[in-house]
Amino acid sequence: MRPEYDIFLPGDYFFDMIYTGLGQFPVLGAEVYSQDLIATGGAMYITALALRRLDVRAGWAACFGNDYYSEYVHRLAREADLDLTPAVRVDQPYRRVTTSIPYQGERAFVTYVDPPPIDLEAHWRQSMAASAFKHLHLGGLLSIKRLGPLSEIARAQGATISMDCQDNPDLKNVCTWPELLSLVDVFMPNAREAMLITGTSTVQGAVEQLAAWIDPIIVKDGANGVWIGHAGEVIHVRAIDAGPAVDTTGAGDCFNAGFLYGWVVEQAPLSQAAVYGNICGGLSVTQVGGATAAPTRDELLGWYARLSRQPDGGGEPNP
């Protein structure tokens, strides 16, 4: 019997090493001590864990090796009761390691990845064909050649598709954007990525341009909230104030989980799903690690109810 999911997640793990509480940013020739350090999972692990806490049935088609970093994140995933039925383990190293250094609201990264030990797209296709799911979420940008076969399998199941982006200084020219975006139902870049793709100087301008290529478009704007382009309109949804930002690593991945819970599982309006995303992303930054502070379903709905009662709408849409 095929496993059934609300959301299918093809995507890699990362082992995130995060240093926090730096008095100054590292410079060449000097040693800087942090006040704290955490090792946790990153990339699709964050979205998978955040969805699990929201009681969403999500299957994660990850690939793990036999190295320390793979074993560590695999153990975290098992302890969190993530569904790894679509995942695969290989008997060779597959190291995917990021050192993150948050500082004054921003962060820097140093990353190392091994070449994939298997054909990842083939593994994803096989796992998708062996599962039933309502929605396919892609945590990073895929080319038309890579996305096409995944899209075909999802469409054959009647599933919708969302895709996040990846920062790249030449994003505007990496593909024919209208053609690529025609393969997905919702695109979820951050503000910097959206402006790079469109060559615009404002977030609203980027949303308007992207909305001509795909509807809806969701643009994450950090502490400024999120922008929605839909049905010829641009709506801004304010961020929530969950407390001081400690670590912004993975906040966008946590936002994605909240948004997809609303849009896919509850089938809520886009503006409500965006508030859910803002709650998950806003809570994410209050602790170290992308999913450390990810809310449970009851916590999310409690936050939403409180925001809805505030006189100013507390995170509801602004036209």
Tokens of 171: 């994003």
Domains of the chain by residue range? 4-318
**Mean of the per-residue pLDDT values of the chain:** 93
- Find the mean pLDDT for residues 74-92: 98
Whole-number pLDDT of residue 318: 46
Interstrand relation of 226-230 and 233-237 (parallel, antiparallel or unpaired):
antiparallel
- Yes or no: say if 31 and 22 are a contact pair by the CB < 8 Å rule: no
Closest CA to 258 of 226, 309, 295, 228: 295
More confident residue, 253 or 310: 253
Judged against a pLDDT cut of 70, whether residue 3 lies above it is answered with yes
Q: What is the distance between the alpha carbons of residues 198 and 201, in angstroms, rounded to a whole number?
A: 9
Closest CA to 301 of 309, 290, 312: 309
High-pLDDT (> 90) share of the chain, %? 82
- Helix 251-260 and helix 270-284: axis angle, to 10°? 150
Confidence label for 185 from pLDDT (cuts 50, 70 and 90): very high
Whole-number pLDDT of residue 143: 92
CB atoms within 10 A of CB 276: 27
- Find the mean pLDDT for residues 82-100: 97
Whole-number pLDDT of residue 311: 66
- Yes or no: say if 210 and 198 are a contact pair by the CB < 8 Å rule: yes
Whole-number pLDDT of residue 245: 86
Q: What is the distance between the alpha carbons of residues 150 and 302, in angstroms, rounded to a whole number?
A: 36
User: Sign of the CA dihedral 131, 133, 138, 144?
Assistant: positive
Judged against a pLDDT cut of 50, whether residue 89 lies above it is answered with yes
- Yes or no: say if 284 and 26 are a contact pair by the CB < 8 Å rule: no
Tokens of 13: 């793990």
- Yes or no: say if 285 and 245 are a contact pair by the CB < 8 Å rule: yes
pLDDT tens digits, 121-178: 999 999 999 999 999 999 999 999 999 999 999 999 999 999 999 877 778 888 899 9
Three-state DSSP state, 278: helix
Confidence label for 45 from pLDDT (cuts 50, 70 and 90): very high
Tokens of 157: 């199941």
Q: What is the distance between the alpha carbons of residues 9 and 41, in angstroms, rounded to a whole number?
A: 15
Interstrand relation of 132-138 and 4-10 (parallel, antiparallel or unpaired):
parallel
Q: What is the distance between the alpha carbons of residues 274 and 106, in angstroms, rounded to a whole number?
A: 23
Whole-number pLDDT of residue 319: 39
Q: Which superfamily does CATH assign the domain made up of 4-318 to?
A: Ribokinase (3.40.1190.20)
Closest CA to 203 of 217, 184, 185: 217
Whole-structure pTM value:
0.93
